[in-house]
Amino acid sequence: MTLIDSAVSCGTSSGTGQIASIDTTIDLGRSMQRVAKWSVGDSETANALIHGDNLKALSLLAQAHPGSVKCAYLDPPYNNGESYQHYYDSMGHEEWLLAVTARIEQIRALLSDDGSVWISIDDSELHYLKVAADGIFGRVNFVGTVIWERRTTRENRKAFSRNHEYLLVYAKKIDVWAKQRNALPLTDDVKSRYKNPDDDPRGPWQSITANVQEGHATPQQYYGIIGENGKVHHPPKGRCWVYVEQRMLQEIAANNVWFGKDGNSVPRLKQFLAQRKTGLTPETLWRAEEVGTTSTAKKHLLDLFRETSLFDTPKPEQLIERVLAIASNPGDIVLDPYLGSGTTAAVAHKMNRIYWGIEKGEHIKTHCVLRLRQVITGERGGVSGPLGWKGGGGFAFFRV
């Protein structure tokens, strides 16, 4: 039996934070057959690998547990005509689109009001899928299209070297999601922009503009600011000062305004690193150096699957980590109905999310189970290092 209730955590030991509680009671064992032989670790775990066709599994889940999933990540076959070692990727266009949209409809029912869905796709089907997904979620709930740089080398055998693919992102309810989605942590690059040229005891700071567009300006926002060396500064044409004069004088007295090293420059406000409360707003361009490439992912799999065959189309753990960092919190349920080599489950496990991974191929046993066994015993690859992953937890295996 797999049980989640407000008192039960998923029992992992990563240092990534608190386990959020869930007030629904979810028992996958009511609708699916649990297979003890392939289940590993903690018997009270809420994590599930589900072997079988994802449409059937999704409709069972949607009937039994609507509104329970915080983040769904889908990496369907892209319909590119290839025949990979572990699955075929060749369907008629109409048939492919119908198959994927039938799954997305079930997923919409599974999402919580603050949930989102992220769909990996390439150029061939992106635009058709966007129109179909708009029909399911409503155009208003389209969050955006992320571009992922999947390779950094040039593919010279093709007319165009396709170095990127996409993630189509939808919210169940955009207003709710936009308020709740997580910001990304400050990068070293961003932190390095904070300096301390005046040895301010409050620590490193960066200067930001002190003037704004005059759209809703009041007359009190137009005045001259006398700089340290007596020079008078007026706002540039079409702009006004961000504060009225009295407030600006207070900020100058509190050493919160910077007139440059020589005291003659246009005044700017000091923004301190220590006081910065918000992280970074996610951007739509995801570079290989930040989230890895297909080849990064394959190198990782070479370490994981030494005694079995390599999986052809894995995603790098860093890419999935970014999705889950934005769209979920510890203890939330993450769903991947096209599990492949188990990347989403492995990353969700390391990030203390609860996961439901569905895969129809036999590689759910030969690859996903093998991979997660290693994760449970403290596997060191992928995102383990940055997350401080040390091992623990478990998963239950189901058949539909």
Ligand X SMILES: C[S@@+](CC[C@H](N)C(=O)[O-])C[C@H]1O[C@@H](n2cnc3c(N)ncnc32)[C@H](O)[C@@H]1O
Q: Which stretches of the chain bind ligand X, using CB under 6 A? A: 53-54, 75, 77, 86-87, 311, 313-315, 338, 340-341, 343, 358-361
Name which of 106 and 343 has its Cβ closer to ligand X: 343
Alpha-carbon distance of 38 to 347, in angstroms, equals 19
Give the number of other Cβ atoms within 10 Å of residue 279's Cβ: 14
Measured from the CB of residue 52, what is the shortest distance to ligand X in angstroms? 7
Q: How far apart are the first and last CA of the chain?
A: 15
Name which of 233 and 315 has its Cβ closer to ligand X: 315
Q: In terms of C-beta distances under 8 Å and separation of at least 24 residues, what long-range contacts does 358-361 make, across chains too? A: 358/50, 358/51, 358/52, 358/54, 358/57, 358/58, 359/49, 359/50, 359/51, 359/54, 360/51, 360/52, 360/53, 360/54, 361/86, 361/87
Measured from the CB of residue 297, what is the shortest distance to ligand X in angstroms? 7
Nearest-10 crossing angle of helices 54-64, 93-110: 20
Name which of 12 and 120 has its Cβ closer to ligand X: 120
Alpha-carbon distance of 73 to 110, in angstroms, equals 13
Measured from the CB of residue 309, what is the shortest distance to ligand X in angstroms? 13
Name which of 77 and 115 has its Cβ closer to ligand X: 77
Using CB positions, name the residue nearest to ligand X: 340
Q: Is residue 237 classed exposed, middle or buried when 0-12, 13-18 and 19+ CB atoms within 10 A define those classes? A: exposed
Output DSSP code: residue 392: B
Give the number of other Cβ atoms within 10 Å of residue 258's Cβ: 23
Measured from the CB of residue 31, what is the shortest distance to ligand X in angstroms? 17
Name which of 80 and 264 has its Cβ closer to ligand X: 80
Output DSSP code: residue 29: G
Name which of 235 and 357 has its Cβ closer to ligand X: 357
Measured from the CB of residue 54, what is the shortest distance to ligand X in angstroms? 3
Measured from the CB of residue 112, what is the shortest distance to ligand X in angstroms? 22
Measured from the CB of residue 79, what is the shortest distance to ligand X in angstroms? 11
Name which of 293 and 343 has its Cβ closer to ligand X: 343
> Residue 170 is inside which H or E element, if any?
strand 164-171
